[in-house]
């Protein structure tokens, strides 16, 4: 189909620019996430004195150069993922040792990073599955140890430092069992010396600085390169059934069935990874729905509904974007009834969360809102001649599920269960096909258009 080609070519070509944009708007939240990650490991018990003695292994290789172990003999064919199953950090305020046990050969490159001071260990494809992660709790010179996937075929360990350090030895050796053990020793040094090392490594390992500017956003779900993430949110669920039609249709079932159709259609329409906030008939708070989108680093969030109105003659689809001020009384009432979903399930409002959301929203929402509005307009454009719309189909309201400051979000009312004809359409397989087709088209055009 014509628009499919358009979508994949243009999206892939412009994706880098888009990522940069998103990185800018995402800085606030990443900083917050790092804070949370950092505080999680604050409490740790000191290891026994006997373990802190460090046996320094001098290595012939350049201290900040790369090390490759001898190829493991029983591995044939392409490079497989090594599993890091053992990890341990030893040391005190003067010196430290990191040990990592692996079940296969890896290429390793260690280097320094500044602001704040860190040691970074890049490894070829490694899955981190430490049996006792507590053994890597920070101590002495080390403020934090993080690890994760950086990009396809590249993994990284980041050691945040309390003091500048100098690597005094590193080694990767094969054990008798055919496994591998990596050790890295470092000791406290002066700030000047640390800066000198950073200057020197630029010459030695060439691309270290290139790697460095990528940052170390670890422990966040790794997104697949060249792909966009879309989170679909089937409204209501479980104890909260949502609206009920005059012929017995139930909103929570309609939204889920349509979301599942959409998932299939959007997935096959371009470089899109689609997730649903729920796949079964269970309750999810509004905040949980938003959290899923944030966790997936969604590029687009679509909440799907089909509500009732007192005015039974009103029918057609409508798209809502977030605004503190509702565009009209009608939009305000609808937002109030949607937001009540949490109260139905007995969840109280969380003022603190709302305040954080508000502060972040102020920082980042301008860009996000622009995208949300663009997508809403795209839907209205595509629907205009194909799917029935209400009067003024793009409206503003303070919906809780639209409050993520990073993810462009819309709430889509597919139609109104209070209207007999709309109810019939919402249950009709043919109409659902049509809706799915046109909404998928709007998604494709949104990603093609917003990055020009
Ligand atoms: Zn609803």
Q: Ligand 1: distance of its center to the CA of 286 in Å?
A: 11
pLDDT, tens digit (0-9, with 9 covering 90-100), for 39-57 = 222 222 222 222 222 333 3
pLDDT value at position 158?
Answer: 84
Predicted confidence (pLDDT) per residue in 220-248, tens digit: 334 555 788 999 999 999 888 989 998 99
In the predicted model, is pLDDT for residue 155 greater than 90?
no
Please provide the CATH number assigned to the domain covering 227-449.
3.40.630.40
CATH number for region 51-213: 2.60.40.3500
Mean pLDDT of 240-261: 94
> Strand 180-188 relative to strand 95-102: parallel, antiparallel, unpaired?
antiparallel
Per-residue model confidence (pLDDT) at position 429: 96
352 alpha carbon – ligand 1 mean position (Å): 25
Q: Do 54 and 100 touch, CB atoms closer than 8 A?
A: no
Domain with CATH 2.60.40.3500 in the chain: 51-213
| Distance from Cα 241 to the centre of ligand 1, integer Å | 9
Distance 257 CA to ligand 1 centre (A): 14
Ligand 1: centre distance to CA 265 (Å): 22
Residue pLDDT, tens place only, 20-38: 444 433 333 333 333 232 2
Per the CB < 8 A criterion, the answer to whether 387 and 434 are in contact is yes
Q: Ligand 1 centre from 142 Cα, in Å?
A: 49
The HSE-up count of residue 299 (CA atoms within 13 Å, CB side) is 26
**Residue from 15, 1, 39 nearest 448 by CA:** 15
Q: What is the mean pLDDT of the chain?
A: 72
Alpha-carbon gap, residue 314 to 291, rounded angstroms: 33
User: How close is the Cα of 365 to the center of ligand 1, in Å?
Assistant: 24
Q: Is the pLDDT of residue 249 over 50?
A: yes
**Which residues, 6 or more positions from 83, have their beta carbon under 8 angstroms from its beta carbon?**
102, 103, 104, 126, 127, 129
Ligand 1 centroid to 32 CA: how many Å? 31
How far is ligand 1, taken at its centre, from the CA of residue 5, in Å?
34
Distance (angstroms) between ligand 1 centre and the Cα of 410 equals 13
E strands of 10-76, at which residues?
Answer: 66-68
Ligand 1 centroid, distance to 243 Cα (angstroms): 6
Strand-pair partners of 207: none
Residue 315 CA, ligand 1 centroid: distance in Å:
15
Question: Of 325-339, 359-373, 389-403, which one has max mean pLDDT?
Answer: 389-403
Q: Where in the chain is the domain with CATH 3.40.630.40?
A: 227-449
Percent of the chain with pLDDT over 70: 64
Asked whether the beta carbons of 54 and 96 are under 8 A apart, the reply is: yes
Ligand 1 center to 306 CA (angstroms) = 5
Provide mean pLDDT across the span 107-111: 85
Across 127-141, 263-277, 350-364, 411-425, least confident range: 350-364
DSSP string, 332-354: HHHHHHHHTHHHHTTPPP-HHHH
| CA 321 – ligand 1 centroid, Å | 15
């Amino acid at each position: 189909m014509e628009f499919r080609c358009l979508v994949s070519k243009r999206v892939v070509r412009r994706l880098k620019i888009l990522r940069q944009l998103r990185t800018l708007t995402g800085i606030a939240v990443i900083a917050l996430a790092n804070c949370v990650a950092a505080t999680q490991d604050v409490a740790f018990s000191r290891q026994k004195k006997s373990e802190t003695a460090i046996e320094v292994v001098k290595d012939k290789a350049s201290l900040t150069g790369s090390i490759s172990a001898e190829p493991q003999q029983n591995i044939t064919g392409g490079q497989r993922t090594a599993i890091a199953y053992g990890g341990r950090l030893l040391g005190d305020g003067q010196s430290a040792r990191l040990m990592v046990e692996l079940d296969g050969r890896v290429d390793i490159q260690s280097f320094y990073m500044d602001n704040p001071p860190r040691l970074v260990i890049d490894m070829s494809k490694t899955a981190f599955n430490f049996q006792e992660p507590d053994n890597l709790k920070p101590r002495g010179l080390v403020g934090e140890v993080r690890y994760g996937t950086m990009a396809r075929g590249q993994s990284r360990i980041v050691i945040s430092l309390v003091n500048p350090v100098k690597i005094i030895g590193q080694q990767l050796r094969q054990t008798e069992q055919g496994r591998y053990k990596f050790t890295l020793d470092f000791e406290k040094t002066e700030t000047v010396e640390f800066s000198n090392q950073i200057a020197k490594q630029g010459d030695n390992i060439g691309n270290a600085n290139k790697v460095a500017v990528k940052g170390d956003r670890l422990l966040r779900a790794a997104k697949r390169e060249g792909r966009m993430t879309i989170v679909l949110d089937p409204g209501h669920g479980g104890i909260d059934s949502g609206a009920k039609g005059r012929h017995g249709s139930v909103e929570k079932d309609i939204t889920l069935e349509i979301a599942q159709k959409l998932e299939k259609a959007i997935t096959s329409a371009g470089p899109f990874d689609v997730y649903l906030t729920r796949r079964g008939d269970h309750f999810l708070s509004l905040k949980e729905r938003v959290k899923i989108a944030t966790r997936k680093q969604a590029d687009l969030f679509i909440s799907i509904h089909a509500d009732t109105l007192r005015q039974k003659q009103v029918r057609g689809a409508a798209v809502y974007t977030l605004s503190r001020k509702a565009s009209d009384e009608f939009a305000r009432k609808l937002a109030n009834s949607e937001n009540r979903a949490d109260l139905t399930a007995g969840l109280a409002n969380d003022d603190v969360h709302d305040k954080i959301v508000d502060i972040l929203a102020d920082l980042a929402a301008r860009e996000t809102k622009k995208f949300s509005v663009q997508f809403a307009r795209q839907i209205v454009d595509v629907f205009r001649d194909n799917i029935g719309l209400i009067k003024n189909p793009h409206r503003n309201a303070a919906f809780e599920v639209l409050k993520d400051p990073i993810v462009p979000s819309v709430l889509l009312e597919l139609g109104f269960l209070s209207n007999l004809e709309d109810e019939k359409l919402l249950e009709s397989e043919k109409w659902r096909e049509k809706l799915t087709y046109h909404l998928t088209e709007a998604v494709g055009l949104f990603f093609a258009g917003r990055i020009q």
